[in-house]
Chain A
Amino acid sequence: AQSVAQPEDQVNVAEGNPLTVKCTYSVSGNPYLFWYVQYPNRGLQFLLKYITGDNLVKGSYGFEAEFNKSQTSFHLKKPSALVSDSALYFCAVRDRPYGQNFVFGPGTRLSVLP
């Protein structure tokens, strides 16, 4: 069975500084990895995904994530944080390219301080 860990409940970063939100996963086969963002009182929005190919994946709003197979990680990054990036971020994994059984991590709350 697959699982996802987000080791930090909360990440605080100053505006303009780089940010990293960590995610590690466990799957029995090839991982298919996703990041979603949830703004207050909103549903989750898709940010980016890793299916295959380049380990560095670029997504919406200037975010990117790096797939590291040896460390089983898929950390979300952004070179320069904005106050508007403050939200709840979820990492998700699936062990097959099709089918809908995503497993989500517990979420990490990102606060970007002005």
Chain B
Amino acid sequence: EAQVTQNPRYLITVTGKKLTVTCSQNMNHEYMSWYRQDPGLGLRQIYYSMNVEVTDKGDVPEGYKVSRKEKRNFPLILESPSPNQTSLYFCASSLSVVGGVNYGYTFGSGTRLTVV
């Protein structure tokens, strides 16, 4: 089944304790992205990657890191989590452009992170 898999689904951690949220896709997609979802703010892009070893900041990158060493994996790293990073996080991937048309994202099921 074509899918984007995030782990863990739920995580409670303490301020300052480094954590990694993993994201893997099995569709050979080139583009991958991380979003956070907060009430009233919709989804805001944290980082995105257009291909292996190519990453760039989205709208809210502060406090986050990413890496793209392999096409299928795009982990999100919080070096020193803070309570304002409590949120619902989504990883998404997308086909590369075909004829100028992008077919939209496939999203993971989400990771609910609480930082206390």
Chain A residues engaging chain B, CB cutoff 8 angstroms: 4, 6, 9, 32, 34, 36, 41-46, 49, 51, 90, 94, 97-102, 104-107
- B102 on interface, CB distance cutoff 8 Å: yes
Count of chain B residues near A, Cβ 8 A: 28
Chain B positions near chain A (C-beta within 8 angstroms): 4, 31, 33, 35, 40-45, 48, 50, 58, 90, 92, 94, 97, 100-110
Q: Quick check: A90 and B42 within 8 Å, CB to CB?
A: yes
Q: Which residues of B contact A43 (CB under 8 A)?
A: 4, 90, 92, 107-110
Chain A residues whose C-beta falls within 8 Å of the C-beta of B58 in the assembled complex: 101
A-B contact pairs, 11 of them (CB 8 A): A6-B42, A44-B43, A46-B103, A46-B105, A90-B43, A97-B100, A99-B102, A101-B48, A102-B45, A104-B44, A106-B42
Looking at the complex, which one of B44, B94, B108, B109 makes contact with A100 (CB distance below 8 Å)? B94
Main secondary structure of the interface of B (DSSP, over half): strand
CA gap between A105 and B97 in the complex, in Å: 23
Q: Min CB distance, A57 to chain B, in Å?
A: 12
- Cβ-neighbour of B102 out of A90, A98, A104 (below 8 A): A98
CB within 8 Å for A98 and B100 given contacts A90-B43, A106-B41:
yes
| Chain A residues positioned under 8 Å from B48 (CB to CB) | 100-101
